Structure 1
Amino acid sequence: MEEMYSTREIAKFLNINEKMVYSLISEKGLPASKVTGKWLFPINLVRQWVEAGTENFPQTAKLPPYHGLVLIAGSNDLLLDKIISTFNIKHEKHMAMFGMAGSLGGLRALKQNLCHIASSHLIGDNDDYNFPFLKDEMNQMPAVVNFCLREQGIIVQKGNPQNILSVNDLNRPDITIVNRQLGTGTRKLFDHLLKDAQIKGEAIKGYETTLSRHMDVGLEILNRRADAGPGIRPVANILGLDFIPACWERFDLVIHKDRFFDQGIQLFLSLLKGKVIQTTAEAYGGYDLSMTGKMVYPATGTEKE
């Protein structure tokens, strides 16, 4: 069995304060598992994590020249799924494939040259999206194209029988939630909202129950295995659930500059101004396409109030 370190041991290994370990888990993807309420750290994976974050570390993988396959990794989204499907139907000599890795995982896959496009919606401490993490995770600033603005919030059961009005209600003893995995943009935003409300996640029943996709969260609530969970309005609309809005977020496509003009990348980006994305977004609800297809820069004001 792989050697596991405790929180104290991993803090000593990394030469940091124990409290910083928890920040690295949630914000930087430090490999960890929670067993009976305690964090354990597989030391071999931690060593790989340290190496992956090394500046000027020689790349172990390199994407070959474009030959018809567009690789996308990162955060999942219902509208993105539709555009990938449309791309594959429309362009017979090309194919787009998606790897669900969460926003942070997508950026790391892009850094390691394992994909052409990373989909990301990570909120920073200053409420800006993605750029604070691009500076940390990428060796050089990539091209960033907006895919959409999405309405994030809390999905609740139809009719909201528990009368949940905001995140402030989630630590009530009669409320059970389901959560998203660490490394996802939705989990990052949810923890951000809890911090603003001065609520500790551990005080919420179900906080440690995590799922991979937005739709998984919605289905748990639909089947009454949970009262609420963080997610996007389109999932609530599709499943006939209620939705407590929290904010609009920027969902971006992050692309290496030297691969930006590859034929497949440009064909994929051309769909962002097509009819399919417009009609699908209108049908789902909870999307704003006012920035879709536009190049995004750090100084641009992007949040929708």
Structure 2
Amino acid sequence: MAEYLSTREVARYLKLNQKKVYALVANGQLPAARISGKWLFPKELIDTWVAEHTVYPPGGLMGAMLDQLLVLQGSDDWLLGRVLQGMSQSPHGSPVATASVGSMAGLSALADGKAHLASCHVAPSVESSQAGTPVYRLALYSREQGVLFDRKRAPGAGGLEALCSRRIRFAERQPRSGTSLLLERLLAAQKLQPRWTTVGPFSSHIELALAVRNGQADAGVGVRIAAHLAGLDFAPLAREQFDLVIPGAFMSHERMSQFLERLLDGVRAEAAHAPLGYSFEDLGRLQPLPAGAEPAP
């Protein structure tokens, strides 16, 4: 049932005096209905009116939200998840909401104003064009991608050519993920036509590896550490850079600076343990990417 406010109630609700409320109504600026000589104000429409007249700082609604919550969408990565988990357990940590939606969907979230930063492993030119706004590319590490398989169950399944020639159950990642795009590029480069039957899609490397480990699939493409943790065999295919992409409007925000500093400290601490399949030569390198532009090498 709709809730209505009197003139006095809406003045108190908006923290205005009643004369100002009458002036707004007279000018047609405030939604109201005149019933039996009295003004009534639908609360739902008043709330909508307030939202429409709210002035946000640079960065829009996401910029206003940054003081309370940081939103990270994009590619799944075991090491990034490990670092973020450690940060969340710190009493000094800021709340971070994450969504493993894939590289391209993460960049689209930036363009749509639904994220503060995106994790991805695609070309810098794709990062800048898909984000739709001037961004910064923060290099974290490179990681090794390859075929995950069980040698006992699928002997000789270590290469793409061998995989494509066999009628196996192939675990696939979700569309628009960086891993699915990598696989498409590798298949096109070698002019291969797979004969496999797909299983999935799976939203994380660990989920895919466990599907192979449990016999739900015979093979799939993922990071080396996932194969190691699941006790699978691994045949390398490519090494790729894993980045964070941050809109320029958020880079100078104190909360973003604090988050990135703590994140890099966490990655450095993990790098000291030499996690399998990761390399950290470019860790912390920050590069501006104009919207839609190819960066200088």
**1:127-206 → structure 2 map (5 Å cutoff):** 129=123, 131-158=124-151, 161-200=154-193, 203-206=194-197
Of residues 289, 293, 301, the one that matches 2:280 is 289
SS at match of 2:209: helix
Q: Which residue is 1:110 aligned to?
A: 110
8 A contact 1:176–1:204 mirrored in 2: no
| 3-state SS of paired residue (2:262) | helix
Percent identical pairs in the alignment equals 27
2:271 and 2:208 mapped to 1: Cα distance? 21
Partner of 1:46: none
Contact 1:87-1:95 within 8 A present in 2 as well: no
CA contact (8 A) 1:233 1:243 kept: yes
Partner of 1:67: 67
Question: Is 2:224–2:277's contact at 8 Å kept on the other side of the alignment?
Answer: yes
In structure 1, distance between residues paired with 2:250 and 2:266: 26
Deviation, structure 1 residue 61: 5.5
* Whole-angstrom CA distance in 1 between matches of 2:62 and 2:264: 30
- SS of 1:148's partner is strand
62 and 68 in structure 1: CA distance in 2 versus 1, 3 angstrom threshold: closer
Native 8 Å contact 1:158 1:240 kept in 2? no
| 2:77 alignment partner AA | D
**May I ask how many residue pairs the two structures share in their alignment?**
233
Structure with larger Rg: 2
TM-score, scaled to structure 2: 0.71
Tell me, in whole angstroms, the C-alpha distance in 2 between the residues paired with 1:240 and 1:158.
11
Distance 1:299 1:140 in 2: 17
d(CA) in 1 for partners of 2:128, 2:67: 30
Partner AA of 1:254 in structure 2: V
Secondary structure of the residue aligned to 1:293 is coil
TM-score by length of 1: 0.70
2:202 to 205, 211, 216: 211
Q: Name the counterpart of 1:299.
A: 296
Structure 1: state its 5+ residue gaps.
1-58, 123-128, 301-305
Amino acid of the residue matched to residue 198 of structure 1? K
2:77 is aligned to 77
Cα deviation, residue 91, structure 1: 4.4
Q: Is the 8 A contact 1:238 1:284 kept in 2?
A: no
Counting only pairs closer than 5 Å after superposition, residues 48-63 of structure 1 correspond to structure 2 as 62-63=62-63
Secondary structure of 1:199 counterpart: coil
Counterpart CA distance in 2 for 1:165 and 1:68 is: 47
| Mapping of residues 113-124 of structure 1, within 5 Å | 113-122=113-122
**Quick one: distance in 2 between partners of 1:88 and 1:264?**
15
